[in-house]
Amino acid sequence: MINNNTTLDDLIKIVICTLDDVQSGEEFIIKDLFRGIEWNRIPKGMRTKLGSMILYLSKGKKLSGVIKPVKKTPQNQQIYIKI
C-alpha cells in the first residue's frame, strides 16, 4: 500500500513486480501499473522521478530485456512495450 513513507525504491519494486501481469507485446504507461487511486497518492514530483528512473532502467541492464520505450503520449508520458 502506498503512503507518505513510500520511497522511490519501493515504487520501483512495485513497478517491477507488476510487470509480471503485463503480457508480452502489450503497451502501457507507468500509471497503468498502479491500482486506481494509488497513483494519485504518489506526489507529483515522486511520479516524475519514478518515470525518469524507469526510463533509465529500461535502457540499462536491469529492465532492457523486459520493457522498451516506444513513444510518448500527448501528455508527454512515456509509452513502453513489454518484450
What is the number of structural domains in the chain? 1
User: Is 77 among the domain residues?
Assistant: yes
Residues 7 and 35: their CA atoms lie apart, in Å, by 17
Cβ burial of 32 (10 Å; 0-12, 13-18, 19+) is middle
**All three cell numbers of 62:** 536491469
* pLDDT for position 36: 84
What is the residue whose three cell numbers read 507518505?
Answer: 4
| Average pLDDT along the chain, 83 residues, taken 10 residues at a time | 91 96 97 93 95 96 94 97 97
User: Is 33 among the domain residues?
Assistant: yes
* pLDDT for position 4: 84
**Domain, as residue range, for 35:** 8-82
What is the residue whose three cell numbers read 501528455?
Answer: 75
